[in-house]
Amino acid sequence: MKEWEKELQLYRLAPVPPKENDLQKYILYYFSEKDDKYIAWFLHYYEHAVNNKVMAVVQDYAMVGHFADIKQAYITGMLKALRDYDPNRGIPFIVYKEYAAMREVHEYIRTMRTGFTVQSNDEYLRLRKAMRLVSEYGGKADSAIIQRIAQAIGASEEDTAEIIRSGMQNMQFVDYYRQYADEDSEESREEIAADGTSETEKLFFKLERAEAVMEAFEHLNYRERAMVSAHLGFCMECYSTQMPKQAFIDIAIDHGLSSPDTADKTYRRALQKMKLEIIKQEIH
């Protein structure tokens, strides 16, 4: 077995544990019996979804060689969420843990860029500025451009070259992952590995945008999140965009609302709340 194949199966158990049709049951068993084996069983069946999320991050942010570390960051965030989780609140753990898990992933990305470590927010802002300038200069980074960027960000040319290199890595691991996803899941995940190159203007700004939108989404109440995800066609639990979009009449029926107009108004209020939350984040 190749090393990257092992990274995809870190939590796979043998013999295979008893399978439940709802992963939430493992979490409930864990809290009722205080036995860690149920978390191991949960991870056995949830690992494929985690791999999908992590590979999407690797693809979007050009984190070649960081798959296992990002995966571990996600699991660390998930286990942190488990400490504060209250199953009596009625929110599935798969939904509850996502924000904490992705925050841990984003923190890893912020502090580790293919050999360039960002020790502070100030350095991270400098990294972002450097990559923005690379984009403005046409995506090239010859010695003259590196010199200009070094002067603009107040760094040595050597450090500047390393910063830029960390954002310019082309993707690997894509062909194998496409094969893995097709063989190990009923859903094709080709969109995760569709782009084999890194675009510098996307690598850094996508991260902040994703964090802002996710945080704003988490500020909604459970019903608002359910309606937004249903109408836009993404999964509340795993954020997959392969879910069918629902019309307001169907959403109204699912939530016991009096009319599609009520569902529409609730949805639009939720989007407005998200917009205001994002604006507040930008101000601060």
18 prior amide bond cis, ω within 30: no
Q: Using CB atoms within 10 Å of the CB of residue 221, give its burial: 0 to 12 exposed, 13 to 18 middle, 19+ buried.
A: exposed
Query: 60 is written with which tokens?
Result: 């979007």
How confident is the model at residue 47, as a pLDDT? 93
Q: Is the pLDDT of residue 197 over 80?
A: no
Q: Looking at residues 173-193, what average pLDDT do you find?
A: 40
Query: What is the percent of the chain with per-residue pLDDT over 90, rounded to a whole number?
Result: 20
Q: Is the pTM of this model over 0.75?
A: no
Tokens 């590979």 -> residue:
55
Q: Find all residues with CB under 8 Å of 217, minimum gap 6, and list them.
A: 225, 228, 274
How do the domains of the chain map onto residue ranges? 1-114+172-185, 121-166, 219-284
Closest alpha carbon to 87 in 77, 98, 97, 72: 97
Tokens 């995800």 -> residue:
229
Average pLDDT of every residue of the chain? 76
Distance CA 136, CA 201 (A): 9
CB 111 within 8 A of CB 117: yes
- Which of the two residues, 83 and 211, has the higher pLDDT score? 83
Distance CA 204, CA 55 (A): 17
129-133, 134-138, 191-195: the lowest-pLDDT one: 191-195
Distance CA 63, CA 55 (A): 9
Torsion sign, CA atoms 209, 212, 215, 220: negative
224-257 pLDDT, tens per residue? 888 888 888 877 666 666 678 888 877 887 777 7
In degrees and rounded to multiples of 5, residue 113 shows phi and psi of -125, 80
How confident is the model at residue 122, as a pLDDT? 62
Q: Is the pLDDT of residue 32 over 60?
A: yes
CB 101 within 8 A of CB 74: yes
Highest mean pLDDT of the ranges 97-101, 174-178, 181-185, 216-220:
97-101
CB 70 within 8 A of CB 108: yes
83-118 pLDDT, tens per residue? 989 999 888 898 889 888 988 888 787 766 544 554
Closest alpha carbon to 204 in 128, 278, 281: 128
220-230 pLDDT, tens per residue? 888 888 888 88
Three-class secondary structure of residue 116 per DSSP: strand
Query: 13 is written with which tokens?
Result: 């158990």
DSSP class of residue 137?
Answer: T
Q: Find all residues with CB under 8 Å of 88, minimum gap 6, and list them.
A: none
- Which of the two residues, 276 and 190, has the higher pLDDT score? 276
9-23, 65-79, 134-148, 261-275: the lowest-pLDDT one: 134-148
Q: Looking at residues 210-224, what average pLDDT do you find?
A: 80
Q: Is the pLDDT of residue 35 over 90?
A: yes
How confident is the model at residue 187, as a pLDDT? 36
Distance CA 278, CA 272 (A): 10
Q: Find all residues with CB under 8 Å of 275, minimum gap 6, and list them.
A: 216
Q: Using CB atoms within 10 Å of the CB of residue 218, give its burial: 0 to 12 exposed, 13 to 18 middle, 19+ buried.
A: middle
Q: Per-residue confidence at 173, pLDDT binned at 50, 70, 90?
A: very low
How confident is the model at residue 7, as a pLDDT? 83
Torsion sign, CA atoms 277, 93, 61, 106: positive
Q: Is the pLDDT of residue 207 over 80?
A: no
Q: Is the pLDDT of residue 208 over 60?
A: no
